[in-house]
Amino acid sequence: MDQFIASLADGLLLGFVYGLAAMGLTLIFGVMDVINLAHGPIIALGMFAVFFLGPPGLGLHPYVALLVVAVLGLIFGAIIYFISVHRILDGPHLSSLLSTFSVNMMIIGVGTAIFTTTPKNMDFSIGGLAFWALNIPFTRLVGAFIAVLVAAALYVFLYRTQQGKAIRAVANNRAASELMGIPSTMTLALSFGIGTMLAAVSGAIIATFFSFSILSGGVYELKSFVIVVLGGLGNPTGALLGGLILGALEGIVPVFLPVSWVPVIEFVLFVLILMYRPNGLFGGGRS
Amino acid sequence: MTQNNETILQVQNVSKRFGGLLAVAEVTFDLPKGQILGLIGPNGAGKTTLFNVINGVYAPTEGKVIFRGTDVSGWQPYDVVKLGLARTHQIVRPLQELTVLENVMAGACYGHENRSLHDAEEIAHEVLNFVNLDSRANQLAKSLNVGQKKRLEMARSLAARPHLLLLDEVLAGLNPTEIAEMVEVVLKIREQGITILIIEHVMHALMNVSDRVIVLDYGRLIAEGTPDEIANDEKVIEAYLGDPKLAEKLMSGE
Amino acid sequence: MSFKSIKYPAFWISVGLVALAGILPLITGSNTTRETMFLVLTAIALASSLNMLLGYAGYVSFGHIVFLGFGGYVGFYLIVDHNWSLWLAMLVGGLMAGLLALLLGKAILHLRGAYFALATIGVNEAIKTFVKNFDLFGGPVGLEVNFLVYKDYGGPAQMQWTTYWAIFGLALLAVLVSYAIKFSRFGLGLMAIREDEDAAMVLGVRTPSAKTWAYVLSAIIPGMLGVILFFRNSSVEPEDAFRLHRSIEFIVMVMLGGQGTVLGPLVGAATYDTLRGFLLTSPLFKDLQLAFAGLLLLLIVLFVPTGIVGWLRGRFRQLWRVLE
């Protein structure tokens, strides 16, 4: 039982961070109907960014470095938007899947050439919290806390600011928004930037407690897919809940089964939800 | 299949609900074989929805659609086609990257006679000639102009060799010459013994070709009769009053 | 396929190109040529198979590698653990891949666009992670064949040739089937689905079964090919058998050459594989090979979305019937 509680707590804390990454993916899909297949490599770049800005590189405190990663992520996302997405936004679905995947290949290719695929480790520790059955490193707690903070900030941004309202309007109906005088290109670039930022920040948070390589993003990208589908494509709040569900699963399943069964269960769940509830667990019924 | 040579289509008490919106409400009518039945009504009256229920795009929420003696309510569109029904779309839907010929061949291949590719090509040329589009047979469908796309849509549905043809605003967006040509085509189709149910906003043309007319308003059938009767029907004029121009057109329609 | 279609020059061009590629090692007599052509023919077979679904029916399968991995694993397992002959195992591998596609077709082909693409990724990952846990298939380590088995195929050296001819046969088969579909009633129905699925239903195309059969046909050859591939490599492990990136390379090939044409995947596969081989052996580009492929893909998507063959067809209308 103690072990169960410990695993569950562990999983839930991770779940917030997974959820944050998935929010980035789902935001982009919700606004422009693009599934960003460069999501994973961007998460990995976030890991590298915090590594090189932080103690092993420039020596910034990792949590300060997170702020820089966020800004870089925003800019990088806007660049990706203009290079690979803008031109084909009105084309068939295949186009945007392929163009964002081409960005994926480029990042992985260049990243492998520069960083190799040897795992890197931040070696970052700020003690832990031990009581009852739990023994939680503070990095996890702070990571989850930051994830919640960013999610809350995103919510406020989307619902309380002019820019955020513009994003929601474009997500709702791009043509109509343009008629209302909302500059859709800038809004779309901003959305892609924010989506990318969320992925990069979550990558950076993950790097504060796990080792990583340029290929690590792939795992988290697939997790984001599962979460996004759990929460409903295009639904950021659903993504955070989906993250918690996935985190809980990852915490609980290893108590009963070998840990290698976790991804099997995740992906089977993923396909089943796509089949029977494509709008997500919290969305309407079958579309 | 029960034999009923007189009536090709029976719509019995059909309703279609989308969430809280009742798009078609308890509509009942019969369509005798060989006739042209006009279907009119203000915008949003549920005309296209009714088409979609008849050809199986939507299952009716209530009621029955009986086509050639068979209850086809809730059938898939491709199954209804096999009984001999074909339709055109209000907004044309050509298969853009295929040639005009291939578009029409698809209609013939998958229509109710299930033709082979070879037969389909012959039928396609014949039908394209009929709508005067054969010279464009090898062009890509996306390269046609609106009028030509309408004729392509018509050719594709004719290639299916249907017993019943549903025409959804085939005249909309055409210039007067094109309208006259298209009306000719519609009348020639009837001569071949094909029954036609036609939605149209170009009133004088519709009144000219239709044997009978039915009127939908807010999803309900409010009138049924000969073109003359409809043109003088109080309820119909009232329904169109929100659209005075249309009412005027209707009144002046010979 | 009607006899009439054989009259099209496109038929002879595509079959001729594959045949030429196939017999090239006989002419040069070198093993290096054979290994190069082995990769090219493999790419042609896989790209052409994918094109049956992607190019004709317009459904993007990101996880098409699952059929190679699954069929290959089943066949290879029969060889390793039950001493089946390569040929019988190959057939069963193909059939199992087809069966998987049939079941998946019922399950996920009602999903459209991005949802289907995502589902194919999910299926591939689910099966990969399952195989990692499946002891019968060797779990994470995979399976390995005893080298003595190669004796039955004339020893390791002769086996290399035998499997080469098998791949040649599969590439030829893929192109022939592609051709047969393209000029059939069935193919016309698929292309109608690609252009407008709802309109196709109204035209009378039984879309669920047409899509499912396209999926099944596109799965069988990769399944057979997997068996040959694993047998030739003498071993297989899950990460290699179900590599998602490889799967997306197929899409790149089809796009590069021109989706929906018979020649397209052939040209795309040959071009892509040649480029890849060049980049891999060049010390400058070795690590950047993937980035280069990505750049190439981006440029195609942005500027030549119809691919090489599609571009030629649009540019030179008189070649319309030649370049199918």
- Please give, rounded to a whole number of angstroms, the shortest distance from the CA of B116 to a CA of chain C: 7
* pLDDT for residue C48 is more than 70: yes
For chain A, the domains span 2-276
Residue A198, token pair as written in the block: 């969320």
Interchain proximity C123–A264, CB inside 8 Å: no
d(CA C170, CA C210): 23
Give the residue from C267, C270, C248, C246 showing the smallest Cα distance to C312.
C267
d(CA C1, CA B234): 61
Q: Pick the residue from chain B with its C-alpha nearest to C310.
A: B97
For residue C168, is it within any domain?
yes
Q: Give the mutation candidate from C196, C203, C261, C320 for the B interface (greatest B CB count, under 10 A).
A: C203
Which residues 6+ apart lie within 8 Å of B135 measured at CB? none
- Indicate if B72 and B195 belong to the same structural domain: yes
Which of B57, B82, B102 lies at the smallest CB-CB distance from C202? B57
Question: Which residues of chain B have a CB within 8 Å of the CB of C195?
Answer: 95-98
Beta strands B164-168 and B195-199 are parallel
d(CA A157, CA A159): 6
In degrees, to the nearest 5, what angle opens at C-alpha C42 toward C-alphas C40 and C43? 65
If pLDDT is split at 50, 70 and 90, which confidence band does B248 have?
low
| pLDDT per residue as tens digits for the range A170-185 | 888 888 888 888 888 9
Residue with tokens 């693009």: A34
Q: What is the mean pLDDT of residues A191-199?
A: 96
- Indicate if B158 and B172 belong to the same structural domain: no
Interchain proximity C114–A229, CB inside 8 Å: no
Q: A50 and A185 in contact (C-beta within 8 Å)?
A: no
Range of the domain at B136: 91-162
- Indicate if B212 and B157 belong to the same structural domain: no
Which chains have 3+ CB pairs within 8 A of B? C
| CATH label of the domain that carries residue C303 | 1.10.3470
Q: Is the CB of C189 inside 8 Å of chain B's CB atoms?
A: yes
- Indicate if B171 and B251 belong to the same structural domain: yes
From the number of C-beta atoms within 10 Å of its C-beta (0-12, 13-18, 19+), residue C281 rates as: exposed
Domain termination residue (choose one: B162, B179, B211): B162
Would residue C275 be called left, alpha or beta, if left means φ above 0 and alpha means ψ between -120 and 50 degrees? alpha
Residue A107, token pair as written in the block: 């990042």
Query: How many structural domains does chain B have?
Result: 2
Interchain proximity A93–C117, CB inside 8 Å: yes
- Indicate if B252 and B236 belong to the same structural domain: yes
For residue C114, is it within any domain?
yes
- For the beta carbon of residue B251, count every other beta carbon within 10 angstroms: 13
- Indicate if B22 and B50 belong to the same structural domain: yes
- Most confident of the ranges A263-277, C192-206, C302-316: C192-206
Residue with tokens 């996890």: A140
Query: Range with the lowest mean pLDDT among A126-130, B95-99, B173-177, C219-223?
Result: A126-130
If pLDDT is split at 50, 70 and 90, which confidence band does C252 have?
confident
From the number of C-beta atoms within 10 Å of its C-beta (0-12, 13-18, 19+), residue C13 rates as: middle
- Indicate if B172 and B242 belong to the same structural domain: yes
Q: A73 and A46 in contact (C-beta within 8 Å)?
A: yes
- Indicate if B49 and B134 belong to the same structural domain: no
- Indicate if B249 and B127 belong to the same structural domain: no
d(CA C61, CA C124): 10
| pLDDT per residue as tens digits for the range C306-319 | 888 888 887 877 77
Query: How many structural domains does chain C have?
Result: 1
Residue C264, token pair as written in the block: 């397209």
Continuous segment of H or E residues that includes residue B122: helix B117-130
Q: What is the CA radius of gyration of chain C?
A: 19
Question: Taking the domain A2-276, which CATH number applies?
Answer: 1.10.3470
d(CA A153, CA A164): 11
d(CA B28, CA A51): 72
- Indicate if B158 and B169 belong to the same structural domain: no
For residue C324, is it within any domain?
no
Continuous segment of H or E residues that includes residue B152: helix B146-159
d(CA B17, CA C20): 61
If pLDDT is split at 50, 70 and 90, which confidence band does B204 have?
confident
- Indicate if B122 and B243 belong to the same structural domain: no
User: What ipTM did this prediction achieve?
Assistant: 0.89
Size of interface B-C (CB pairs under 8 A): 77
pLDDT of residue C254: 92
- Indicate if B246 and B176 belong to the same structural domain: yes
pLDDT of residue B247: 65
